[in-house]
Amino acid sequence: MSAPQPENLLVFVDIETTGLEPEHDAILEIGVVIADSNFGTVDHNSWVLYYNQPPQKIDLIVWEMHEMSGLWMECKNSPLYDIQEVEEEMLMFLKGNGIEAKTQPMVGNSIHFDRSFLKYHTPRFEGYFHYRNLDISSLNIFVDRYMNEFYTGRPVTNKLHRAIPDCFDSLNTLKYYQEHLRYV
């Protein structure tokens, strides 16, 4: 069996942050899942960045969410201090999987949010992708509003608020739509 062609790959990206504003908040975790055209996993990786600020500086909802997921503990123990080094690792990860610059849209849930943080904190990584997005959240809204009577069995998301599981949620949802929307 031959390796998947880069143009047929899907690159799912998800981040976890300390808040909603790229200029004021930090990226805590970045996950990337590369899938083939049949939604099989080609490769995946995540990077948890060091973070050890007092909880008073973070919205309580965000603090509790990352406390429940275990992300805070991983951030406190992470050896990754420099986001530019992480950015270089992520670029090497994409290149190592045959992803060429500007060829692949970024795929994920509310991917515009992730891209805003990535553009601010890791502009070379964000700029490596095509300018287009494949936003699973937009598909969900469309199906919920206009096709809900047909598609009530969409996969349930894990709501872990961790990068890799969230990427796989996006992948499974897109796979579901690919399998079911063709019959409309």
117-162 residue pLDDT tens: 999 999 999 999 999 999 999 998 888 888 776 666 677 777 789 9
Q: How far apart are CA 58 and CA 2, in angstroms?
A: 47
Whether 131 sits among the annotated catalytic residues: the reply is: yes
Q: What is the DSSP-derived secondary structure letter of residue 10?
A: E
Asked whether the CA dihedral 80, 86, 92, 97 is positive or negative, the reply is positive
40-51 residue pLDDT tens: 999 999 999 999
Which of 51, 131, 151, 183 is catalytic? The answer is 131
CATH superfamily of 7-181: Ribonuclease H-like superfamily/Ribonuclease H (3.30.420.10)
Give the global pTM: 0.92
> Where in the chain are the domains?
7-181
